Structure formats: C-alpha cells, structure tokens
Amino acid sequence: MLTSHSRDADGDEKKSRDRLARFRLEGKRIVEPVVVGGLKHALAGAHPVLAAAAEVRDAKSDGGLNIEAMEISPDQQRLLIGFRSPLQGKLAIIASVDNPAAIFNEGASPRIAAALETLDLGGNGIRGMAFVPALGGYLIIGGPAARQQVHFELWFWSGAPGAPARRVAVDGLAGFEHAEGLSPATIDGKQMVIFVSDDGNRANGRCAHYLLLDTAQLRITP
C-alpha cells in the first residue's frame, strides 16, 4: 500500500502522507504489517523533475508530486510507481524502485532506477495501474493531473522499456468516469478486471461505483 506522498490541502508536508506499507491478509485480518518511509526523498534525489515537483505546494492544481498508482513487476523484483503529477512535458511518469524486498526485509533505503519510463496518455497523468496476466502487460488509467470533470481513459502498456502506451476501448462504454483503481480477478473461472471509481459522497449517502469487465471485452489498439 502506498500513500500519495503529496502535500496536504494547505500545502504542508506530513509524514503520514509519505508512507509505503506491506502486509498480508488472513481472512479479514491484517498480519505482519511493515511501514517504511524515505520514498519521496529517494525519488527526489534520483530525478530532478520529481525534486522540483516535491517543492510545489498545490499538488492537484500546479503539478506537484502526487502518486496515484503502484504495482509490483511480475518477477517481484521492481516496484513501479505511477504519478498523477508531475508530467514530463505532456508525458506521464513511471519510476521504478529496484529493491522492494530489501526495503521491507532489511530496512534498506529505496533504490530508484536511473531512468524514468514516460508514456503518452494523451496529456494525462496516471490514476491507476495493474499488471493483468491474461493480457501479458499493464492496464493504466489515465486522467488529468489537475482537477477536471472529464471521463478517464484506459491504456495498455507491455512493460517493455520504451514501449508505447496503447489506447483501450470497450464497446458501448464512453469512458471510465473517475476510475482510480483496478485489479485483475478470476471470477467463476473467467479472467476479469475490476475498476473502482472515486465518485462516492458520504454526506449524500452515495456509494462509489465499480465496474467488472471480462478481459475479452477490452479492445487494445495496435
């Protein structure tokens, strides 16, 4: 689990917003939790574009550092970090933590890869990311870095360095509302993807929405 590492609404840094956690689930119980810090410092130290973003006080309007996606690589050797902002030019940014096991097992400092992966998501940042085994790559939710009331979009990335993101469409679906999370799931033997949307309203008693799609419904552009 990863917090946004962004500043709060007043533009202040808070340690509670700069946390990376690992735990196991046993039924409904969380067991063996490990919480670590230091990721923002490591990211800023490795890449000037992230260091500059970390100094911006309004993360959601002015391109400040704001993490909204995380996924472990299929070989469990890299932790991929997807940024809502900043963008590099008009490209979304993915950073790689190359020693995730050592961070939790040995208390090591995060080791950030020297190269950032950048993806053309139509000028959008990353709002969610998951490796989907049935597709052999990552599905990425693209959404605006700043606050905008627009439909988010879905993209496919193979994970290969330098490979482009490819747009994903679903027949009859105009967009992905404000989807900000996704995960593969096997349901009744079918390979599915579940999307969760950040559109609930506690004051109005409105629950957030979710969407289940069969991977066969996803049309990935060539």
- Of 61, 83, 221, 202, nearest to 155 (Cα)? 221
pLDDT recorded at residue 158: 97
pLDDT recorded at residue 50: 97
Contacts of 43 (CB under 8 A, 6+ apart): 5, 50, 54, 65, 81, 95, 110, 112
pLDDT recorded at residue 132: 98
At 144, the amino acid letter reads P
pLDDT recorded at residue 203: 87
145: containing domain: 15-220
Q: Is residue 7 part of a domain?
A: no
Length of the chain: 222
Report the first-to-last Cα separation within the chain, whole angstroms.
33
Q: Is residue 147 part of a domain?
A: yes
Q: Is residue 116 part of a domain?
A: yes
Q: Is residue 52 part of a domain?
A: yes
Q: Is 189 left (phi over 0), alpha (psi -120 to 50) or beta?
A: left
pLDDT recorded at residue 183: 97
pLDDT recorded at residue 199: 80
What is d(CA 44, CA 35) in angstroms, rounded to the nearest whole number? 20
pLDDT recorded at residue 218: 96
pLDDT recorded at residue 129: 98
Q: Going residue by residue through the chain (222 aa), what tens digit of pLDDT does each one get?
A: 888 898 887 788 888 888 999 999 999 999 999 999 999 999 999 999 999 999 998 877 788 999 999 999 999 999 999 999 999 999 999 999 999 999 999 999 999 999 999 999 999 999 999 999 999 999 999 999 877 767 899 999 999 999 999 999 999 887 777 888 999 999 999 999 999 988 888 888 888 889 999 999 999 999
What is d(CA 222, CA 219) in angstroms, rounded to the nearest whole number? 9
Q: Is residue 8 part of a domain?
A: no
Half-sphere exposure of 17 (CA within 13 A, CB side): 16
Domains: count for the chain: 1
pLDDT recorded at residue 68: 95
